[in-house]
Chain A
Amino acid sequence: MNLKKYLVRALHRLQKGPGYTYKELLVWYCDNTNTHGPKRIIKEGPKKKLIWFFLTLLFASLVFWQWGILINTYLSYNVTSSLSIGFKTMKFPAVTICNANPFKYSEVKPLLKELDRLIEAALERILQPTPGNSTENMSLPLDLELWNQIPLVLIDEHDKDNPIILDIFETNQTAVDNETAMDSRANKKYKLAVKLCSHQGSENCTYRNFSSAAQAVTEWYILQSTSILSKVPLHERIRMGYQAEDMILACLYGAEPCNYKNFTQIYHPDHGNCYIFNWGMDEEALNSSNPGAEFGLKLILDISQQDYIPYLSSAAGARLMLHQQKSFPFLKDQGIYAMAGTETSIGVLVDELERMGYPYSDCTVNGSDVPVRNLYSQYNTSYSIQACLRSCFQTHMVEICGCGHYMFPLPEGVNYCNNEDNPGWAYCYSSLRSSIKQRQICIDSCKETCNDTQYKMTISMADWPSEASEDWIFHILSYERDMSTNVTLDRNGIIKLNIYFQEYNYRTISESAATTIVWLLSSLGGQFGFWMGGSVLCLIEFGEIIIDSLWITIINVISWCKGLKQRRARARFPDSPPTVSELVEAHTNLGFQPEPVGAVPGAPALPPEPGTPPPNYDSLRVQPLDTLGPESDAD
């Protein structure tokens, strides 16, 4: 019904012809609009009119230009950061404590016995000036099979272009050659290298050169022991590592005593058994509401340095790391050392960065939108960029080498690499590790988390225990641990740790959007208001005028078409009298269209009084503006 009514009204309007012309419409608009410029155009004299016309145009273009800038600014999604520093009650960080050495040497000795003998013999050969005696001293034959899987070789670089590769245990090699080579070793032309082959005995081999023999030996030993240990089941590996009750001798959190049972055990491939305090997995995380060492965590650890695996880790100490609750400790990246025989005090400042997610910055809230499967989720830990990178590497490793690396968690249905099953794994791994392309892929596919928490540590150290107190402290601690009256501890193994919040314990940088929709609107409004005093209503007014002028156009076009038809008809009957529409046109548009005015035949016949026509128009004009408009709308 409504539609019909509307259509009828539209038809009437069409039949009536335009109520006013473009010019009238514009003048009316200028006179009645709320924007400031247009009013001036019609109010003043011609000179000012011109000036105001250009001023209005200029301001309008300025407004549009600046609107463009503002919208662009809004779409660039800038952020502002606010910084807050102070002290508040905060969750005490999770503290992971490991021994730098993964396993007790006494426990893993049976596994590594062959390896140790090999490396000892090799060192003997390398270091001893006369190669003869060392081999004779060996009572047992060496397990050369293990050696041949990944051998160490000497590279003679006397002749730079033509280096000679000497296998250390190849006794067949002419002894004379060897001997002369040994003599000139003082010139330091020899290098130790690890020979890595894609298959045993194949020609596809690379030599990993090392400038230092110490480095080469360590690297070789790590490769070999990794292969051996990867075959050992996990519970066995945990058993071989350091037990909590042996390692954590005393614990005090604030005023409350704690013991090794408050620590969560986790098996870390680099460091064996690690113990995490306040991980927040089973129970609520502890809060600390006071700054200072008295209210922090105090620990006494024993790392029993005598039981270290000699070739695996040359640095001795505890490895510790502060991290967020429910996150996996990546000790190689963020961990710090604590030296034996010292008291290490660590003041903590929590440095937080809270970022807005998409579209403000490219970060991930929980890692669910990252294309890499998080292998560390088996520990129930949250996403972190380190976890992502390692998962990415392990996935590549499984894809390319067919087995997983011992240092990272395994995807389902894959085994760890070892020399027997995957003879070329070391070669594959080392080429993958040094591949820049692979790293770049991982960097590109991993995203950082939006909430980045770092623990800034102020580390200080002092000797502990003091010489005067050494005696009784060792006695008590030995008694408590081993129930023995003998001292079972020594300076080389004992570590005291104090971890506490500093006076200012947090520094939070949080982001907020610099440009919100409210900001955008108020800026747009400000611009429009500043140049032209306009508002949204003014825009609507303008839209109205455009619709009106469209109507006028439509009506004009229709009447023009009608006119065309009639002219054709008139061409057929040239003597026809003026039609009704022509008369109507004359009534409505007489004064405003110059062309029909010239064609009006009755013009010279009008009375010669110049004063009369204006009132005529006047009344006409007033009608369309006020009375005609509403009337036509009303019916």
Chain B
Amino acid sequence: AAAAPGKKITARLKRTLPVRGPQAPTLSELMRWYCLNTNTHGCRRIVVSRGRLRRLLWIVLTLSAVGLILWQCAELLMNYYSASVSVTVQFQKLPFPAVTICNINPYKYSAMKEYLYELDKETKKALETFYGFSEGKSKVRRSVDDWNSTGSDFFEQIPLLKVEDFSRTATELHSGQKRKIEGSVFHKDSSIVNSGDSNDIIGFQLCDANNSSECALYTFSSGVNAIQEWYKLHYMNIMAQIPLEIKEKLSYSAEDLLLTCFFDGLSCDKRHFTRFHHPLHGNCYTFNSGESGTILSTSTGGSEYGLQVVLYIDEADYNPFLVTSTGAKIMVHDQNEYPFIEDIGTEIETAAATSIGMHFTQSRKLSKPYSDCTETGADIPVENLYNKSYSLQICLHSCFQKAMVESCGCAQYAQPLPAGAEYCNYKKNPNWMYCYYRLHEKFVKEQLGCQQICKDACSFKEWALTTSIAQWPSVVSEDWMLRVLSWDKGQKLNKKLNKTDLANLMVFYKDLNERFISENPANTLVILLSNFGGQLGLWMSCSVVCVIEIVEVFFIDSLSIVLRRQWQRAKKWWSGRQQGRAAQATASDVERQGHENPACIDEDLPTFTTALRLPLPQDSPLPRTPPPNYSTLRLETAFTEQLPDTLELSQH
């Protein structure tokens, strides 16, 4: 009794929704039926056309239309992930960028004397030995008193060498000994290779401390480069040992650097600047760093409304070997960006007014799958060592530092420290310089894989700078200007400032037009589908309905026909084997079976018979009639539905 309602429901379903099986008994008839009744154009022509040539022509046309559709749709799909660029210009109040200002010289030379005493002495000695150059002539005025004291060990380990290229011998700075060079020779400047008189090549040799036979010799075409590079190497070594707090004290304070400040028509002072310690440039000061929580903005363009500062560049206190140019370096950047001032800073001349007009452009790229860029850098397996938002530069530096810590065991001085590492210095890591140079070379040759890992950021802000210089102070205003500035500086009046110690800087927006360049997806799904529809419609007047039709006819119906035929064949074979009268099964029988669908699917067999009983006579004498039947039925369909009702009625 429990199964009865279920059965009832299925029976009712079967009655109301009977399965009639495929539209035609055989494959060829199915095809014909399809062609006649499909919604796509072309196919009908094949069946309707008379004459073989015409039919062939229509087959070719239809097939080429299908081919065209497939080709064009593939093309549309392939171009789906393309971006279109839009540029918008907006005139509005603009946030003023952060402006980082550094003195080119990182630390006051007078304060650094005790740390650099040994190194300077060594350098001067080298100058004297190689160039026979005595101190009086040079600009190096700072005398080193203890001229005779012995140099420390580590200078001897990496001494400057005079190399004779052909004989492969080097003269050492201290002992004057000649010795044979082993290992590979690296030319820092490749141009010297073909220079004939390579007698006076100066360079230095870096050896692997564990394996002294493995050495790399670095030579330079000019002694200036050699000495600076050598000096820098030792200098970094010394600086790495000084703690940050002391270094900050050794460098310039805000009062030292900034004489006057003026922003947006109002006076400003050192409180508007944030100190930031740069390993190579010492104390730098960032105007409008956003650290106080507010970011200044300008609502008027023009030089009066930007930042105007007068910088005090104490030229007399410059390190003679480390930096050879005078002035300041500035960089305009976003508040969230780390200023790579050593890489992309702009240099500011002394005794001049540098006016920098800015034009703001913001760009945005689409990230995956449109292009290979990263939004936040979170998907890049390199830890961001800088406390700022992601940029390609940050990634490359962090990646190098990571590799450095991994292979050399200590961190490079110019980049921030990863957790748990410390800066390299010669006492603890005697091997680091060799390691560093090797690693750096690998990095430059893209062997470390950093360039492959790091992706560029998807959005970036750019301030295009137009820099121009005017003489400042002018001849006639020099006198009072210097006097007043000296008063500002609060110095004793007898020490008047020199104009080569001053630099005037103006940073302003040329106009408040913000250009925003952004990529947008050129295609959306809607447009893609419309394009598909356009293509399908143009060539064949086809739609998704046609596609479903094709699926229905070519897959479901033909498959069921094929299956049925196989089933019948199997059945026939079985019955033939059982009864031994296979010959009796005539071809007409097979056809009738196909037309009347008696053996289509076993389950539906009873429904079929019931369904077939009413419209069709029990035994149709002509099995070939049904196909025309369909077409006539089609005309009459509207009434066939009514038939059972009326019949029932009349029977009452």
Query: Which residues from chain A sit less than 8 Å from chain B, CB to CB?
Result: 24, 27-28, 31, 36-37, 39-40, 42-43, 45-47, 50, 55, 59, 66, 69-70, 73, 78-81, 83, 100-101, 105, 123, 126-127, 129, 185-188, 208-215, 217, 305-306, 308-311, 313-317, 330, 332-341, 344, 353, 355, 361, 363, 385-386, 389, 433-434, 436, 439-440, 443, 446-448, 452, 454, 456-457, 459, 461, 492, 509, 511, 514, 522-535, 591-592, 597, 603-604, 606, 608-610, 613-614, 617-618, 621
User: Can you spell out 17 A-B residue pairs with CB atoms less than 8 angstroms apart?
Assistant: A46-B18, A66-B526, A211-B267, A211-B269, A213-B487, A214-B485, A217-B480, A315-B474, A317-B470, A385-B513, A386-B511, A526-B529, A530-B544, A531-B533, A531-B543, A606-B650, A621-B638
> Which listed residue, A46, A59, A355, A514, touches B545 by the CB 8 Å rule?
A59
Bound CA–CA A534/B39 (angstroms): 11
Other than A45-B20, A526-B537, give 14 A-B pairs with Cβ distance below 8 A.
A24-B638, A59-B545, A315-B353, A317-B469, A333-B302, A337-B353, A461-B469, A514-B84, A525-B530, A532-B544, A533-B545, A603-B649, A613-B650, A617-B642
A459 B468 Cβ-Cβ under 8 A: yes
Query: What's the Cα separation between A434 and B265 when bound, in Å?
Result: 7
Write out, one digit per residue, whether chain B residues 515-554 have a CB within 8 A of any chain A CB (1) or not (0).
1000010001011011111101100011111101100000
How far is A309 from B477 in the complex, measured between Cα atoms in Å?
8
Does B301 sit within 8 A of A, measured CB to CB?
Answer: yes
- Contacts from B to A (Cβ < 8 Å): 16-20, 37, 39, 84-89, 91-93, 259-262, 265-269, 299-304, 308, 310, 352-353, 355, 357, 359, 464, 466-477, 479-481, 483-485, 487-488, 490, 492-493, 504, 510-513, 515, 520, 524, 526-527, 529-534, 536-537, 541-546, 548-549, 634, 636-639, 642-643, 646-647, 649-652
Q: Is the CB of B537 within 8 A of A310?
A: no
Q: A310-B477, A591-B646 are in contact. Are A530 and B16 (CB under 8 A)?
A: no
With A186-B490, A386-B301 as contacts: A80 and B85 at CB distance below 8 Å:
yes
Nearest 8 pairs of A and B residues by beta carbon = A530-B533, A526-B530, A212-B260, A316-B474, A533-B543, A317-B470, A529-B537, A36-B545
- Which of B88, B530, B646: most chain A Cβ within 10 A? B530
Cα(A208)–Cα(B513), bound, Å: 30
Given A214-B310, A610-B647: A316 touches B470 (CB 8 Å cut-off)? yes
Residues in A whose Cβ lies below 8 Å from that of B299: 436, 439-440, 443
B474 touches A621 (CB 8 A): no
Shortest Cβ distance from A188 into B: residue = B490
> Which residue on A lies nearest to B531, using beta carbons?
A526
Using A212-B267, A316-B474 as known contacts, say yes or no to A526 and B534 having CB atoms under 8 A apart.
Answer: yes
A42 to B635, CA, bound (A): 11
Residues from chain A with Cβ under 8 Å of B468 in the complex: 336-338, 344, 459
B470 A315 Cβ-Cβ under 8 A: yes
When the two chains form their complex, are residues A214 and B87 in contact, meaning their CB atoms are under 8 A apart? no
**When the two chains form their complex, are residues B88 and A339 in contact, meaning their CB atoms are under 8 A apart?**
no
Q: Which of B20, B39, B266, B530 contacts A527 (CB 8 A)?
A: B530
Once the chains are docked, how many angstroms separate the CA of A373 from the CA of B308? 32
Complex Cα distance, B214 from A475, in Å, reads 65
A214 with B260, Cβ < 8 A, contacts A36-B543, A313-B474, A315-B474 known: yes
Given A525-B533, A525-B534, CB of A452 within 8 Å of CB of B261: no
In-complex Cβ contact of A332 among B302, B469, B532 (8 A): B302
Cα distance, A613 to B644, chains bound together (Å): 12
A36 proximity list for chain B (CB < 8 A): 39, 543, 545-546
Q: Is A80 a contact of B84 with CB atoms below 8 Å?
A: yes
**Chain B minimum-CB-distance residue to A307:** B476
Residues of chain B within 8 A (CB-CB) of A46 are 16-18
CB nearest neighbor in B for A119: B480
Interface of B is mostly: mixed
Question: What residues of B have a CB within 8 angstroms of the CB of A315 in the complex?
Answer: 353, 470-474, 504
B634 and A334 contacting across the interface, CB-CB below 8 Å: no
Q: Is the CB of A355 within 8 A of B89?
A: yes
Q: Which residues of A contact B471 (CB under 8 A)?
A: 305, 315-317, 339-341, 492
- Chain B residues closer than 8 Å to A618, beta-carbon distance: 636, 639
CB distance from A591 to the nearest CB of B (A): 6
Residue of B nearest to A36 (CB): B545
A residues in contact with B353, CB < 8 Å? 314-315, 337
Residues from chain B with Cβ under 8 Å of A186 in the complex: 490, 492
B484 touches which of A42, A100, A214, A459 (Cβ 8 Å): A214
With beta carbons under 8 angstroms apart, the residue of A43, A210, A528 that contacts B634 is A43
Q: Is the CB of A310 within 8 A of B490?
A: no
User: Once bound together, how far apart are the Cα atoms of A355 and B513, in whole Å?
Assistant: 14
* Cross-chain contact A617 with B483 (CB below 8 angstroms): no
Closest to B304 in A: A332
CB of B649 to closest CB in A, whole Å: 7
Interface contact A31-B261, CB-CB below 8 Å = no
Least distance between B21 CB and chain A CB atoms (Å): 9
Distance between Cα atoms of A483 and B260 in the complex (Å): 45
Contact of A339 among B16, B469, B634 (CB under 8 A): B469
Contact of B476 among A45, A305, A332, A528 (CB under 8 A): A305
Q: Are A614 and B484 also in contact (CB < 8 A) when A36-B543, A448-B91 are?
A: no
